[in-house]
Amino acid sequence: MSVIRPFKAIRPTKEFASSVAALPYDVMSSEEAREMVKGNEYSFLHVDRGEIDLPVGTDIYSKEVYFKAKENLDKLINNKICVQDEKPCFYIYRQIWNGRAQTGLVACASVDDYINNNIKKHEKTRSDKEQDRINHVDTLDANTGPIFLTYRPDIKVRSIITDWISSHDTACDFVSGDVKQTVWVIDDEKTTDKIARLFENIPDLYIADGHHRCASAVRVAQMRREANPGYTGDEEFNYFLSVLFPSDELKIMDYNRVIKDTNNLNEKELFEKIEKNFTLKKEGKKAYHPVHQHNFGMFFDGEWYSLTAKSGTFDENDAVESLDVSILQNNLISPVLGIENPKTDKRIDFVGGIRGLEELEKRVNNGWAIAFSMYPTSLAELMRIADENELMPPKSTWFEPKLLSGLFIHKLS
C-alpha cells in the first residue's frame, strides 16, 4: 500500500516558469551555479544554493546560506513570481528528451511509508549531505526539490493521466536545455481521490534518485514530531514532495569509470591480469559501447577494447554481486588496479553517461590511464536490490533527464 496525497503547491506563474526552473542543486558546484544564474534573478538556484548570493568563500553549510535561501524564496512568493494553489492538487510533469517521454505524477508521499520501508531505497546516504538538506528544508519550512520515485506500471493510473492530458490545458510548457518540460494541474477532487485510492493498491514505491533529499525530508518530519508530541499525522510535515514515474518510462544511463594509473603495471602485465577474469578483444579507435550485460569497454593507450566477464567470476543469483559495476570492481578495479574503496580513493573518478564516451577519451588523453565504459544498470536490477533490502555500489545509476527544481514547492506548515 502506497500513501500519496494532493497538496497546495507553490508554483511559478506560467510567465516565469522557464526562468524559475533550475537543475537540482547537487549536479553543479557553487562556482558553476554562480555562472548559471547570471542575468536571471528568478532562477531557483538562488533558493537551492543560497551561497551564490553571498561572498565567494562563504562556508556553504553556514546558517547565513540557509537564511539567504529563505529570503530568496520569500522574495519569489512576495513578488508573485511563485503563487500557491488555493486547494490541494496533483500535478502531471512530463519531460521529453531525445524523443523519449517520461510522465510523472507530482504528489506528496508519506514519511511513514519511508520509515516502514514501503518506499524502498538502494543507496546509502552520507550524514554530511543529509545535514545540509535538513538545515535547508527546516529553515525554509519547505521541500524545494522533488524526490524522484518510481513504481511498477498501473494501467488505471496511466489511463487517468493520459485522459487528463488530452482534455486539459497545460500550466506551463517550455524547453530547458534540450528537454521539453510540461506541467498540467489535476484540480478535480474526484480525480485526485481516485488516483490516491489506486495508489493504495500499489504495494511499493522506489527511490530512483534523491536519496539524500528524501532522508533529509524524513528527518525534518521526525524533528517536528518530536517538537509537537500531539501531532495527528495529517500535518504537511508528515509528507514530502515527490514525482512518481512508472518504471517502464524511465531509462538509466551508463555511469562510467576512469582510473588515474595502472597500479605500476606495464601493458603486458596489465592485460595478463585482466584476462584472468575477462575475455579481452581489441576493437580499435572507435569508441566501444558495451552491447550486453557483463560486457565492458576499455580505453587504454589510444585504443578501445571489449571485455566480457568469464563464467564463474560472479554469482548470478546475488542481486548485488551480479551487477556490472560490482563485477568490474571485484574482478578488475580492486585486484588488478588496487582500488579497494571507490568511495574514497582519489585514483578513480566517475563520468555520467550524459557526457558521452568522448569524455572518457578526453580524460585519458589528458593524463588519466584507463577508462571503462559500462552497460547501464536496469530498472529491474534496481528494484530487485531494493526489494531484497540490499544496497547498490557507489555510482551505479545515472538518470536523465534530471527533474527540475522550482516548478513545485511544498510548504511544511
Do 228 and 346 fall within a single domain?
A: no
In a domain, 112, yes or no: yes
Could you tell me the CATH number of the domain that includes residue 371? Answer: 3.30.1760
- The answer to whether the CB of 280 falls within 8 A of the CB of 274 is yes
What is the model's pLDDT at position 223?
97
- pLDDT, residue 1, reads 86
91 plus 240 within the same structural domain:
yes
Q: Do residues 298 and 372 make contact, with C-beta atoms less than 8 angstroms apart?
A: yes
How distant, in Å, are the alpha carbons of 96, 102, 175, 403 from that of 178? 9, 14, 6, 13
pLDDT at 127: 84
pLDDT for res 7: 98
Residue 264 and residue 240 share a domain: no
Check residue 394 and give its pLDDT.
83
Neighbour count for residue 64 (Cβ, 10 Å): 14
Q: How many domains does the chain have?
A: 2
The answer to whether residue 327 sits within a structural domain is yes
- Residues of the chain where predicted confidence (pLDDT) is lower than 50: none
Q: What is the pTM of this model?
A: 0.92
Looking at the structure, tell me whether residues 242 and 264 fall in a common domain: no
189-199 and 155-167 are packed helices; what angle lies between their axes, rounded to 10 degrees? 160
**Residue 37: per-residue pLDDT:** 96
- Look at residue 388 and tell me if it is in a domain: no
Question: How high is the pLDDT of residue 35?
Answer: 96
Q: Are residues 186 and 310 in the same domain?
A: no
Residues 125 and 237 in one domain: yes
Q: What is the pLDDT of residue 317?
A: 93
180/297 same-domain check: no
The reply to whether 395 falls in a domain is no
Give bridge partners of residue 369 from the DSSP assignment. Answer: none
At 222 the pLDDT is 97
Q: What range defines the domain where residue 162 resides?
A: 4-251+400-411
274 and 292 together in one domain: yes
Instruction: Indicate if 274 and 137 belong to the same structural domain.
Output: no
Whether 8 and 124 map to the same domain: the answer is yes
Identify whether residues 247 and 278 lie together within a single domain. Answer: no
What is the structure's pLDDT at 343?
A: 85
pLDDT at site 254: 95
Same structural domain for residues 309 and 327?
yes
- 77 within domain boundaries: yes
pLDDT tens-digit profile of 132-170?
999 999 999 999 999 999 999 999 999 999 999 999 999
Residue-by-residue DSSP string for 186-235:
E--HHHHHHHHHHHTT---EEEEE-HHHHHHHHHHHHHHHHH-TT--S-S
Q: Is residue 46 part of a domain?
A: yes
In a domain, 381, yes or no: no
